[in-house]
Amino acid sequence: MNIAMFSNLFAPVVSGSSTQSAALSRELARLGHKPFVVTARVEKNSPAYEEIDGVPIYRIPAVRLPRLPISMNFPWLNCTFTLSNLGRIREIFYRHRPEVIHLHNHMFDLGFSAVLMKRRHEIPMVITLHTMIRHSRGIYNMILYPADRVFLRHAIVKRAEMLICPDVNMEKYAKEAFTESRRVLVPYGVSMPEGPDDGALQDLRNRYQLEGKRVILSLGHVIELRDRREVISALPSILRVIPNVSVLIVGAESTDKPRRLAKQLGVEHAVIFAGPVPHRQVKNYLALADLEMHFFHQDAREHTSLGIASLEAMAAGKAILAWANVNTYGQGMLRDGSNIVFVNPNEPTRLAETVIDLLLDYQKRIEIGERASQTIQEHFSWESVCSKTVGVYKTVLQRSVA
C-alpha cells in the first residue's frame, strides 16, 4: 500500500507527533508498505530530500514563525502553504501514487495541502489527532475555540474519512469539538529502548555532575501547560530528606517560570535544564533516572492523558509519577502502585512524600518499572499499533470504493 504521510513536525524537530509519524512510517516500510513523508523544512541545514529506513522524506520550504503566547511559545511553528509548495507536493504525488493520505495533527497548514491532494487525487484521508487545541489562559480560548471547532472542523477535520485517537480523552475531544462519530482508538506506539551508550552515559554524568546523585528525570518541552512547577515546589522537602537529589529537565524551554521558581525557592543548584535533545539520545537520559515525572495542568485528572514521554519512560522500566485518567487506555491497563504511581501535583507535601518513599525503596521502584515495561510491550508495541493503523487504511479504502 502506498501511503502519503503529512506532518509539519518531523525529525530533526523533537516532538511527540514527529517521533510517532517517523516510527509509524518506518514500521510500515518494514512490513512491505510504501509510505513517504511530506513535512516542513524547519531547520535550514536539514536535507530537502533523504531516505531514512526505506522511507522517502520530502522537506518542503517553510517559513518559521515567531514564538507567540497564544501558541504557548512553541518553538517550531511554521508555514508551508504556498502555490510553489502545492506544485512540489503534486509532483511528489505523481511520483508515488498514494492510495491513502495520513495527516498528523489537524491544526498545522499541511492539513490544507492534504485536503487539496485528497480532492485532486480522489483518495481517502485519515487524521491522527495528537493535540487538543486548548490554552491555559481563557482569553486565548476565545480565539482558539472558534478557530478549532468551526474553521478547522469544516476545512480539515470533516474532510477525513476517519479520525485516529490515541486515547479515550482524545476520543472525547473529537466527539465534543467536532461531533465526529468516524473515529477509532489506536494507541501511540512505543519502541522498546535499546541499552544506553556507556560512553554517552558517562559523559552526561560528568557534564551535569550526577555521579552519586539520585536523578528525577522530567521529559518533555517546558511550556506553560508543563512548566514543572509541581516538582520544583516539592523539591525543598525532598532535599531535606535526600540532599543528593537532582531534577533533570529535558526539553526546549518556552517559559522561564521554572527557572524563576527554582531560584525563588533556593533549589536552583538541584535543577538542571538540559534543553532539547535528539530522540535517539533519550535512552541515555532514561538510563540515568531513578524515576520520571512531569505533569500537565490543563484539565482535571479525568480529562488528562499520559504523554508519549511517559510511555517511553515506562518502556524503559522506570517508575513514573503521573496525574492522568486511570482509564486513559481502557479499564485496568494502568494500575496505581503496580505499573504507575498516580499523585496529585497540587499537593506538594504529599508529592514530596511519595517521591521520597520511592527514592528510598529501590525494590519498589524496580518492581513498578518492570510491570510498566511489560504493559508497554503487551499493549503499545509498534507491531500492534501498525497493524491497527493498516486496518484503518483498509477500512477507509473499502468504503471509498463501495
- Give the single-character DSSP code of 366: H
Residue type, 78: N
Boundaries of domain holding 220: 198-379
The CATH number linked to 348 is: 3.40.50.2000
256 with 173, same domain: the answer is: no
Let me know whether 183 and 263 are in one domain: no
Cα–Cα distance for residue pair 231/346, rounded to 1 Å: 10
Which three cell numbers, joined as nine digits, stand for 218? Answer: 522530567
CB distance 222 to 274 below 8 Å: no
Collect all residues with Cβ–Cβ distance below 8 Å to 351 and sequence separation of at least 6. Answer: 230, 231, 233, 234, 321, 343, 344, 345
- Residue 184: φ, ψ to 5°: -145, 145
| Number of separate domains in the chain | 2
Which parts of 70-218 fold into alpha helices (H)?
83-96, 110-121, 138-146, 153-155, 168-178, 198-208
CA nearest to 126, candidates 337, 349, 389, 341: 389
Burial class (CB in 10 A: 0-12, 13-18, 19+), 185: middle
Question: Cell 524515576 appears where?
Answer: 291
Question: pLDDT at position 298, please?
Answer: 62
Q: What is the pLDDT of residue 374?
A: 95
pLDDT at site 402: 62
Task: Report the candidate in 220, 13, 10 with the shortest Cα–Cα distance to residue 102.
Answer: 10
Strands of 245-250's sheet in order across: 271-275, 245-250, 214-219, 291-293, 320-322, 341-342
Does 227 lie in the same domain as 373? yes
For residues 107 and 256, membership in a common domain is answered with no
Q: CA of 237: how far to CAs of 8, 76, 349, in Å?
A: 42, 36, 7
Tell whether 185 and 40 lie within a shared domain: yes
Quick one: pLDDT at residue 26?
A: 95
pLDDT the model gives residue 263: 97
Same domain, 346 and 243: yes
Residues 357 and 395 in one domain: no
Claim to verify: residue 329 and residue 184 sit in the same structural domain: no
Q: What is the DSSP letter of 303?
A: G
For cell 521554572, name the residue.
258
Query: Contact, 305 vs 324, CB < 8 A?
Result: yes
Q: Are residues 131 and 19 in the same domain?
A: yes
Do 282 and 389 belong to one domain?
no
pLDDT of res. 137: 81
Other Cβ atoms closer than 10 A to 176: 11
Supply the angle between the helices 308-315 and 16-30 in degrees, to the nearest 10.
Answer: 60
What single-letter amino acid sits at 231? Answer: V
Cα–Cα distance, 40 to 401 (Å, whole number): 32
Whether residues 134 and 255 share a domain: the answer is no
Question: In this structure, what C-alpha cell is assigned to residue 319?
Answer: 517508575
Residue 146 grid coordinates:
472558534
Amino acid at residue number 95: R
Q: Please identify every stretch of the chain with a pLDDT value under 50, giving residue numbers as ranges.
A: none
Are 388 and 189 a contacting pair, CB within 8 Å?
no
The per-residue pLDDT for range 323-370, each reduced to its tens digit, is: 988 898 888 899 999 999 999 988 999 999 999 999 999 999 999 999
Judge if 230 and 316 occupy the same domain.
yes
pLDDT in the model for residue 73: 78
